[in-house]
């Protein structure tokens, strides 16, 4: 797991997600000043956190994506172990 500087927006978002909160782009912008929640979610995922995005339609027909922190499935964990045994590292996967 990657650790984030406690003074960053990424860290503050992660702590809020760990507390069980979910966020839309508008909520993250208002609470943390995060202008691109999708990029922050990708950063957290790259750091080893299971950030999930769920898309739904609001009552006015607008598509809204909500982000939450979860637990990876057993299959994902098993794939991670298999990749490690095969000699893959984060650096080799990023190079692909």
pLDDT-derived band at 95 (thresholds 50, 70, 90) equals confident
If you average pLDDT over every residue of the chain, what do you get? 91
Going by C-alpha positions, the residue among 50, 20, 13, 62 that lies closest to residue 34 is: 13
Could you give the C-alpha distances from 6 to 15, 29, 86, 89, in angstroms and in order? 9, 18, 34, 26
Residue 2: pLDDT over 80 = no
Residue range 62-90, pLDDT digits in tens: 999 999 999 888 988 898 899 889 998 87
Domains defined along the chain, listed by start = 9-71 (1.10.10)
Residue range 11-21, pLDDT digits in tens: 999 999 999 99
pLDDT for 1 equals 65
Does residue 90 or residue 47 have the better pLDDT? 47
């Amino acid at each position: 797991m990657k650790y984030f500087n406690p003074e960053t927006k990424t860290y503050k978002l992660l702590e809020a997600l760990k507390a069980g909160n979910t966020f839309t782009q508008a909520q993250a912008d208002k609470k943390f000043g995060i202008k691109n929640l999708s990029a922050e979610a990708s950063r957290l995922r790259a750091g080893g956190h299971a950030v999930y995005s769920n898309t739904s339609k609001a009552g006015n027909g607008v598509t809204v994506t909500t982000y939450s922190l979860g637990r990876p499935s057993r299959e994902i964990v098993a794939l991670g172990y298999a990749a490690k045994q095969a000699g893959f590292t984060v650096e080799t996967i990023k190079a692909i």
